[in-house]
Amino acid sequence: MHSTDPTPHPFTAYDHSAGPPELRVSGEVGGRPALFTLCPKFADYMDPGPLLGVAVRVDTHFRIPLTFTATFKQAAGERWELARVLCRQDDYLASVRAVRPKIAEAAAKVLQEQRAQMEPLFAVARERQAAYALAEVYRARTAAADSHRRVDAAEDEFDLFEVCEERAAEVLGQLSGRPGPLPHCGPPVVRSTTYGRVLVLCPVGHLVQSVKAEDWNGSQLAARCADPAFTVICHGQTGEPLSH
């Protein structure tokens, strides 16, 4: 992972908590007034990564108010390819059937004309997608750190028995050749007293119980950890998840 220089667009100071920015343009669809709202978005992940796209919402009127959304994806160069056209109203309506064939061409024309004005919005969309990717980086780093802690704890426990690794590996091979699963050494032992909060989750991830660590003794927590019907997450005083 490497860092790059900040994007120079003034929109890079944009507050993303306000939601994605949009560009609104007045135009026509089949000779009727229409309002085009352009919003950048990233399409489904593709090799080598997410694909930039634009959703163009078209609000017009033909007998009744109509709202269409034409979604485009970026193609080679600066071209845009139409992905789909959807309508908020029912497709069986005569008004929808009359206007739909004209939406794609009108939206594509507006998108091409507004390419320069869309560049700052593209920069904002890239920032937002980069933030999502960074969240995945953080989750991966946390998982790697948790795994490293589990390895350290397992190695510490192995060292307690004062048996060399070669002999233990030989015995493991012998035990693995026997029918049935390998015996377990018992429920997990709570080695840390720095936990601030204990979360108990069911198999599908719903929170079942949340208690302060000081309200449980070690045997209570160990028993809950050993119960296969639940997942237990221990959080430290600062809220970070800790292995147990």
Task: Show the tokens assigned to 20.
Answer: 């994605």
pLDDT of residue 119: 92
Q: What's the number of domains the chain is made of?
A: 2
Whether residue 2 is contained in a domain is answered as no
Residues 133 and 219 in one domain: no
* Cβ pair 53, 71 in contact under 8 A: yes
The answer to whether the pTM exceeds 0.75 is no
Q: Are residues 240 and 135 in the same domain?
A: no
Write down which residue in 183, 203, 227 finishes a domain.
Answer: 183
Q: Is 86 exposed, middle or buried (0-12, 13-18, 19+ CB in 10 A)?
A: middle
| Residue 113 token pair | 């004309």
Say whether both 12 and 71 belong to one domain.
Answer: yes
pLDDT at 51: 82
**Whether residue 169 is found in the same domain as residue 241:** no
Dihedral sign for Cα 116, 117, 119, 120, please: positive
Question: Does 165 share its domain with 233?
Answer: no
Nearest to 69 by CA among 59, 83, 56, 81: 56
- 120 in the same domain as 78: yes
User: Which of residues 167, 183, 199 is at a domain's end?
Assistant: 183
Are residues 214 and 243 located together in one domain of the fold? yes
The pLDDT profile of the chain, 244 residues, written as one tens digit per residue, is 454 444 445 555 788 888 889 999 999 999 999 999 999 988 765 666 678 899 999 999 999 999 999 999 988 777 889 999 999 999 999 999 999 999 999 999 999 999 999 999 999 999 988 888 899 899 889 888 888 888 888 888 889 989 999 998 888 888 877 776 666 544 443 333 344 555 544 444 444 455 554 455 555 555 555 555 445 555 444 444 444 4
What pLDDT is stored for residue 174 in this prediction?
A: 81
d(CA 207, CA 231): 9
Domain that holds residue 223: 187-244
